Structure 1
């Protein structure tokens, strides 16, 4: 079952359970999927495209949580956290720090990088090889650390 189909099924379950917060999050996901379908002009959404959309939605929620917490709006931050949990349930897990470090070391070796100026090449190699499996912020930090910047 595709991610798009799972979201639709979960919407039905949330409606039957009268779980409003979950339903709102799922409707937001579904709306983003429909928007992408219209942009692409296709009938169905590939899982890799759906994952990209979900990652974007999760990032938006994290940024909102941070903004609400800075503005002392714990109530709104809690709603965003609940939506983030729903979104995260559909995302494949990202590689842990140990795995990411191994990939970074491999990318540094394969690109022949030796200075902070080579960071772009290393990140490019990493992202092309492990897109979707890798936390970009963590990879960026590890590349900087290993290249000594």
Structure 2
């Protein structure tokens, strides 16, 4: 079943179960996907939809951090609940060992030996870890190995 079909089914189930928070989050995701489709005048594939959902999760994590710093735990909790709903539609996250193995392989494939090769390594990894790992974490790990 495609990702968009999963979202539509989850939306219907949330409506039937009268889960307002879950329904709202799924509608936000559907609207974000539709907005990108309208902007680009194309139908998004699985990878593009995953990228949209990943971006939404990242935005919410940033918001959680800001709300907690401002002492607004009530708003941080709402954002955290949205992150949980969105993560249901993303691929399973990579473990530390799996991520390290992918980084090592990409570095070997790119022949990376200095910080100048970081772009090559990131380019190789992006499609493999999209939606499965935080790219900021991936970037830090690569910098640590190259630096």
Partner of 2:33: 33
Counterparts of 1:121 and 1:33 in 2: how far apart (Å)? 29
The number of residues matched between the two structures is 146
Answer whether contact 1:113 1:122 (CA < 8 A) is retained: yes
2:40 is equivalent to residue 47 of structure 1 = no
Q: Is the 8 A contact 1:97 1:138 kept in 2?
A: no
Q: Which residue of 1 aligns with 2:2?
A: 2
Deviations 1:117-144 (A, max 9, x none): 332232223225x252443222212212
TM-score (norm 2): 0.88
How many angstroms apart in 2 are the aligned matches of 1:62 and 1:55?
Answer: 11
Pairwise CA RMSD: 1.8
- 1:142 corresponds in structure 2 to 141
Q: Unaligned 5+ residue runs, structure 1?
A: none
- Provide the C-alpha distance between the structure 1 equivalents of 2:144 and 2:112, rounded to a whole number of angstroms: 13
Structure-2 separation of matches of 1:119 and 1:21: 40
Is 1:123 matched with 2:122? yes
Q: SS of the counterpart of 1:22?
A: helix
Counterparts in 2 of 1:118 and 1:46: CA distance versus 1, 3 Å:
closer
| Residue-by-residue CA offset, 1:59-114 (whole Å, 9 max, x unaligned) | 11101111110110010111111111110000002322111111221222222222
> In structure 1, what is the equivalent of residue 65 of structure 2?
66
* Higher Rg: 1
Q: In the alignment, what sits opposite 1:89? A: 88
Deviates more, 1:103-112 or 1:87-96: 103-112
Q: Which position in structure 1 is the counterpart of 2:55?
A: 56
Shift of residue 38, structure 1, vs aligned partner: 1.2
**Alignment partners' CA distance in 2, 1:46 and 1:123:** 22
Structure 2, unaligned runs of 5 or more: none
Match of 1:77 in 2: 76
